[in-house]
Structure 1
């Protein structure tokens, strides 16, 4: 198969902008039918062993088909990555950095196409999927500023000791359906910048944009360094047990993370797991309600609540509870919901049937609880697709499923508290520990509250967002290890101490 040159990639992007405006589901579907997607294995774009439908969550109907990798094709991808590893590991950091900068250029020059495909398969409004692609490129570039070179720990009459950071080998990366490109690109960057090769598996619910990215970036890296396959849980399980996969990086549920830990134990794989987050926000009585209500709503209902770090529980001081709830409910009533290609839409659907059913199950159980008060929402929208009204529920306490579990949909329970210690105790209850936030006009008091929260990230007067230079990850059952920052990058390496004689 003849390879595509970098200039051809750029020209294709330019021609797409000129010849086709991808501003409707039908336009994107036609584009995909004319440009069928394939797997990327060892630098070659190959047909899948079989094909599976991809569902548009805004209509609950098939919008495309995606190739599925066979077990043999996964073996081929891992073999290609394994064969490419020695040369890529020996490649100078400067050259790996250059390749990744070209990868960022591919993202930026093809943002219109990638965002349109992403909106079709994931459901989020087009303006927001464009932001996802652009931000992925920004995160990538920022991470390349982090120094991962060897460190001299000692150089004296006793000798010279160098701390080396050696790449691990083949990284198996498993990305989720809620933010497909935004969560895949950092995994690619972590793995390749540190000298590893990668086999990336997107979610079978949202494989299209990732497969398109693989096609566009086919010639950015040497053959075998970057591989993209597609498939279900069986493919992920095969990667987790494979002897030639040195590390698994996963963003997913706690249940999936536990399965990966168990299946990877036989080979003692290195793991970076970013898992569920039933994130708490504590709102003290001294806040400016006019300012915080929109910010809290946005942080709770971003991507229709389908973000691991979104606010999933809110604890509000009793003195302001009712007013804040009513302000947020008013925002919910005025927030337009619909398909991602519809102008001015702010909230899209739940991404897939299984998650839609799960959220509705939680709502049904909550409605049976006599304590629960549905201030706004509470039902599926009477239209095609997986739409659920933005919902705010009060009156619950710990022990209710909506409070204790991560619903991962547009549903927010709001609880009362009387003092800071009470709020911290409620927020810390349960198995989750990904993120939390404290909202207050008294920063010193907010810092004191934050110091008691058990979470990997705690914000004051904001919630949601990562800094690529700052480690991110969860405590308790919300994950293992960290992504981003130097700590996140070095988790994709093995530390080795090299002792040299004096004068070396």
Structure 2
């Protein structure tokens, strides 16, 4: 029974009005849940319970995959990939553009699942169907251009023809995180299947339902069911098994785990792309629009409760405007509507687990104990949800404090003054990470010049992170310990292909002919090379 929901009917019991939303108990329809969980390749008979961070209530029992199940998933994916690689670009384009419409039509259903599984505010859950629709449309419109055979100059003009093909790698393993459970489960894999590959996906155990709905929508859009396999289970077993079998790995998660993934891929001489951790900086220059910067900073720090790889955790503010900026920023933070539920009126939702709360609390407590000043927040709020932690602003954080250089991945930010921009750039580049940065200034030209010196894969000017992330033609990824490879843009598609050069030689061979000696051949070739240089040939 497919988990389709063509009428976009409510999937939960419980009120959505803001007066009751925070304390409502939500339950998914059992038939809907079973239709989704049936998509997991699993025959072990074991299941893992998933509970909602909103109220701690059970959401589903997810079947767990064995090693044999992973083997079976790859076997089916390989058979499907062989057929899929022969489909026309037009057929792939049609399916991607149909997915674009399906995701927009079913966005309420998608957001319900995202909020119930992750606890994020609905306004932040909307970012996920938005991003998948953008991704589907972008590759639907561009895949034929990016994958088309390219002509390159041959060694002998007119006599040597070079064609460069982009051949799919085969079966791609996608290991995705819990923080953006719909978009991260789908966006990287969409590029993989657009390029002619199949996918075996392992979504995070905490947010399987959102990923499974994505798989269902792919089938409804016209992609073959076996082309996108989903397995479930602990990374130590299932994730390792995927790395041992895939032709390429796409991983999004922590830097520590990313290093292990890279080692596993290196052992097999397969490629990988890794989007990892960040301790992302924002620079607020002396000429910045203070109100605009304060508004942007709130989104930069507290979107999805700070559980976002590109969120800002360090803010460097010009001394000339520091006091005014801090007053406006803290005021906006204190005005946020906090809660947990499906309402649009919530500005910041709950964290996903007790582990996230414990990390945020430990970072804040350590900083305060060592002399940092708490400007607002700093407390767990179990009265709002089991794993809620207040939006927090720290001042006076020093290098001996845990949160100075370590990623919190929660609603905590540290503020710092700077006196000259060179010092701000230097401090922004401290540490091991280099994922995202933000610069606020009224002078866009100067801000773009500064961006070239920031060690980050994306830099947003007068915006938090959305401008680069939502611009699908812009490559997105990290420098240094924040990862390798890029999603989005042509790089995001071509990473899933092997480059194949095909040379066709005409008339004369690349060897002596017509009785020419090897020495005479070398002399004639030398003369030809000198001529080609004079003619400006590369």
TM-score normalised by the chain length of structure 2: 0.86
* Matched ranges for 1:155-194 at <5 A: 156-194=157-195
Please give the alpha-carbon distance, in whole angstroms, between the structure 2 residues aligned to 1:262 and 1:221.
32
Equivalent residue, structure 1, for 2:530: none
Q: What are the Cα deviations for residues 34-83 of structure 1, in whole angstroms up to 9, with x where unaligned?
A: 54232536xxx766632111121122343332222222211111111122
Equivalent residue, structure 2, for 1:71: 67
| Structure 2 residue matching 1:153: 3-state secondary structure | strand
Please give the alpha-carbon distance, in whole angstroms, between the structure 2 residues aligned to 1:116 and 1:85.
32
| Structure 2 residue matching 1:205: 3-state secondary structure | helix
* Matched ranges for 1:184-333 at <5 A: 184-218=185-219, 220-242=222-244, 244-333=245-334
- The 8 Å contact of residues 70 and 238 in structure 2, kept in 1 or not, is answered as no
- Range moving further from structure 2, 336-345 or 480-489: 336-345
Please give the alpha-carbon distance, in whole angstroms, between the structure 2 residues aligned to 1:184 and 1:76.
20
Equivalent residue, structure 1, for 2:56: 60
- The 8 Å contact of residues 318 and 417 in structure 2, kept in 1 or not, is answered as yes
- The 8 Å contact of residues 143 and 469 in structure 1, kept in 2 or not, is answered as no
* Matched ranges for 1:15-30 at <5 A: 16=9, 23=16, 29-30=27-28
Equivalent residue, structure 1, for 2:376: 376
- The 8 Å contact of residues 307 and 351 in structure 2, kept in 1 or not, is answered as yes
Residue 34 to residue 132, structure 1, CA distance change in 2 (3 Å):
closer
1:277 is displaced (CA, Å) by 1.5
- The 8 Å contact of residues 154 and 161 in structure 1, kept in 2 or not, is answered as yes
- Range moving further from structure 2, 227-236 or 112-121: 227-236
- The 8 Å contact of residues 237 and 263 in structure 1, kept in 2 or not, is answered as no
Residue 382 to residue 17, structure 1, CA distance change in 2 (3 Å):
closer
1:258 is displaced (CA, Å) by 0.5
When the two chains are superposed, the root-mean-square deviation of aligned CA atoms in Å is 2.5
| Structure 2 residue matching 1:375: 3-state secondary structure | strand
Equivalent residue, structure 1, for 2:117: 121
- Range moving further from structure 2, 178-187 or 52-61: 52-61
TM-score normalised by the chain length of structure 1: 0.91
Residue 149 to residue 160, structure 1, CA distance change in 2 (3 Å):
same
Q: What are the Cα deviations for residues 92-127 of structure 1, in whole angstroms up to 9, with x where unaligned?
A: 222122222233333233222221111101111234
| Structure 2 residue matching 1:172: 3-state secondary structure | strand
Please give the alpha-carbon distance, in whole angstroms, between the structure 2 residues aligned to 1:287 and 1:69.
52
* Matched ranges for 1:324-363 at <5 A: 324-342=325-343, 344-363=345-364
Please give the alpha-carbon distance, in whole angstroms, between the structure 2 residues aligned to 1:18 and 1:366.
43
The count of corresponding residues between Structure 1 and Structure 2 is 492
Equivalent residue, structure 1, for 2:531: none
Unaligned runs of 5+ in 1: none
Equivalent residue, structure 1, for 2:450: 449
Asked which structure has the greater CA Rg, the reply is: 2
